[in-house]
C-alpha cells in the first residue's frame, strides 16, 4: 500500500534553509526562516522563560495529563493577554494547541464541522501554510487583494471589493498584526471598515495573531483583534507563543472561539472533541511556562521588557536598512521597509531577482521576496542593501 504514496511538494522555506546550510560562502545572509535572531545570530531563551522553567523543575510534582482543552489557567492567561477585557469570559471557548499552526488547523476543522460549504477568504499573499492546510482539509481558499506591489502597502480598496463578494457564512481570515509575509498592516480605521463589512455580509471572522509585541507593542498589537472580537458575533482566534515568548520548539498555541454566551458550552465541547481526535491532550510544558510568566507580576514585567528590546531592535534594523537603501539607490522607494511592522517585509520583486541575489551575493530570502528582518545585524544590513540595488530591484 505504501508504494502508492507520491512525493509531496517541497516546503519552500525548508528547501531554502537546506541550501543556506550547504553554501560555503562565509558572508551568506539567512533571511528565510521565521525565527527571531539577535545580533549574534542566536535565537535566545528569554530571561523570564529560564526563570519560569527553573521554578517548574523545582515545584512540579507530576507529568500526568492535564485536560483535553489544556490547563484552564493557561487559557485564562492567554485570553487576558490577547483580548484583555474586550469580551466577556463566558463568551469564549478555548483550547490549548500544538503551536499556532495547531490552532489554525483546529479552527479550520471547526469551520468544516459548523458549515461544510463555507469558503475561507485569505489575503493575497498569506502565510503559505494557511492555504496548504485548507487544501488538505478540503476547504476552498479564496484569495482577496491585499498587498500592493507598487506601493508595498495595503491595497485596501481592492481588499474591500473582493471581500464584498463573500457569501453569507463564509470566513474571512485576517492577520491580527505584523502581516506575514508582507509586513504591511491595516490601520484601525481600516479595521473598522472590515468589521462593518463582515457584519453586513454575515461572515465569520478568523484572526491569526502570531506576533503580538513584535509590531508597535503588546497592547497596540492587540487593538485590532480586540476590535474584531468585541464587534463580530462569531470570531475564531489562533494565537501563538512561539515568537513573543521565544519558545518555538515547545509548540505552545491556543484557539479561542467567541460566540453568544448560550452557545459557549457546545462550542467548547466541539473544541475538546477536535483535540481528542487529533492529538488527545495538548503539550503542557510551554503552556505552564507562559502561565507562570503571565501570572507573576515580576516575571511578566521582565518578559515584557525583553520583548520590547526585541521589538525595538527590529525597528532599528528596518530604519537602518531603509536609510542604507536610500543612500545607495538615491531614492526613497524603499521607505516602506521602515513603515512595515513585525519580523517580515516583502520587497515586491521577482523570483528571478531573488535568485540573482542568492547567486551573486549569498542573500537567502523566500522566492516571493519575503525577508526576515530579524535575520539581519549591523554588519549584514549594508551587504543586503548593496545586493538589492546591484540586482536592480
Catalytic residues: 127, 208, 210, 243
Strand blocks (E) in 75-132: 92-98, 120-124
Question: Is residue 196 classed as helix, strand or coil in its secondary structure?
Answer: helix
Q: Check residue 280 and give left, alpha or beta (phi > 0: left; psi -120 to 50: alpha).
A: left
The answer for residues whose C-beta is within 8 angstroms of residue 23's C-beta and 6 or more apart is 362, 364
C-alpha span between 304 and 57 (Å, rounded) = 23
Question: In this structure, are strands 153-154 and 171-175 parallel, antiparallel, or unpaired?
Answer: unpaired
- Cα 235–237–243 angle (5° rounding)? 165
C-alpha span between 16 and 5 (Å, rounded) = 24
Sign of CA dihedral 188, 194, 197, 202: negative
Is residue 120 a contact partner of residue 173, using CB atoms and an 8 Å limit?
yes
φ and ψ at 30, to 5 degrees? -95, 110
β-pair partners for 321: none
Q: Which three cell numbers stand for residue 51?
A: 526563570
Closest-CA residue to 70 (of 38, 99, 107)? 99
Is residue 384 a contact partner of residue 220, using CB atoms and an 8 Å limit?
no
Residue 87 carries which DSSP code?
Answer: S
β-pair partners for 204: 171
Amino acid at each position: 500500500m505504501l508504494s502508492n504514496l507520491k512525493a509531496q511538494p517541497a516546503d519552500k522555506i525548508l528547501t531554502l534553509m537546506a541550501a543556506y546550510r550547504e553554501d560555503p560562502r562565509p558572508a551568506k545572509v539567512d533571511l528565510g526562516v521565521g525565527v527571531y535572531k539577535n545580533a549574534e545570530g542566536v535565537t535566545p531563551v528569554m530571561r523570564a522563560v529560564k526563570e519560569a522553567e527553573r521554578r517548574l523543575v523545582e515545584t512540579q510534582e507530576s507529568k500526568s495529563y492535564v485536560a483535553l482543552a489544556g490547563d484552564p489557567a493557561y487559557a485564562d492567561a492567554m485570553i487576558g493577554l490577547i483580548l484583555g477585557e474586550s469580551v466577556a469570559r463566558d463568551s469564549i471557548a478555548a483550547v490549548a494547541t500544538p503551536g499556532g499552526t495547531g490552532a489554525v488547523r483546529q479552527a479550520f476543522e471547526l469551520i468544516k464541522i459548523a458549515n461544510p460549504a463555507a469558503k475561507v477568504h485569505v489575503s493575497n499573499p498569506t502565510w503559505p501554510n494557511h492555504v496548504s492546510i485548507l487544501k488538505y482539509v478540503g476547504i476552498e481558499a479564496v484569495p482577496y487583494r491585499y498587498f500592493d506591489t507598487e506601493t508595498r502597502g495595503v491595497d485596501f480598496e481592492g481588499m474591500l471589493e473582493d471581500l464584498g463578494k463573500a457569501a453569507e457564512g463564509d470566513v474571512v481570515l485576517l492577520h491580527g498584526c505584523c502581516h506575514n509575509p508582507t509586513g504591511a498592516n491595516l490601520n484601525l480605521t481600516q479595521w473598522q471598515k472590515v468589521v462593518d463589512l463582515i457584519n453586513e455580509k454575515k461572515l465569520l471572522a478568523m484572526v491569526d495573531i502570531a506576533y503580538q509585541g513584535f509590531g508597535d507593542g503588546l497592547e497596540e498589537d492587540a487593538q485590532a483583534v480586540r476590535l474584531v472580537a468585541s464587534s463580530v458575533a462569531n470570531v475564531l482566534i489562533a494565537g501563538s507563543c512561539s515568537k513573543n515568548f521565544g519558545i518555538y520548539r515547545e509548540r505552545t498555541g491556543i484557539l479561542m472561539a467567541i460566540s453568544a454566551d448560550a452557545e459557549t458550552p457546545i462550542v467548547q465541547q466541539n473544541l475538546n472533541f477536535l483535540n481528542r481526535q487529533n492529538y488527545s491532550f495538548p503539550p503542557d510544558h510551554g503552556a505552564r511556562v507562559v502561565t507562570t510568566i503571565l501570572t507573576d507580576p515580576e516575571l511578566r514585567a521582565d518578559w515584557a521588557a525583553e520583548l520590547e528590546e526585541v521589538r525595538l531592535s527590529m525597528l532599528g534594523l528596518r530604519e537602518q536598512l531603509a536609510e542604507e537603501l536610500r543612500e545607495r539607490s538615491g531614492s526613497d522607494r524603499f521607505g516602506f521597509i521602515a513603515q512595515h511592522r513585525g519580523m517580515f517585509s516583502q520587497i515586491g520583486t521577482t523570483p528571478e531577482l531573488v535568485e540573482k541575489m542568492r547567486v551573486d551575493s549569498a542573500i537567502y530570502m523566500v522566492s516571493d521576496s519575503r525577508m526576515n528582518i530579524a535575520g539581519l545585524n549591523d554588519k549584514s544590513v549594508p551587504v543586503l542593501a548593496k545586493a538589492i540595488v546591484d540586482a536592480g530591484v
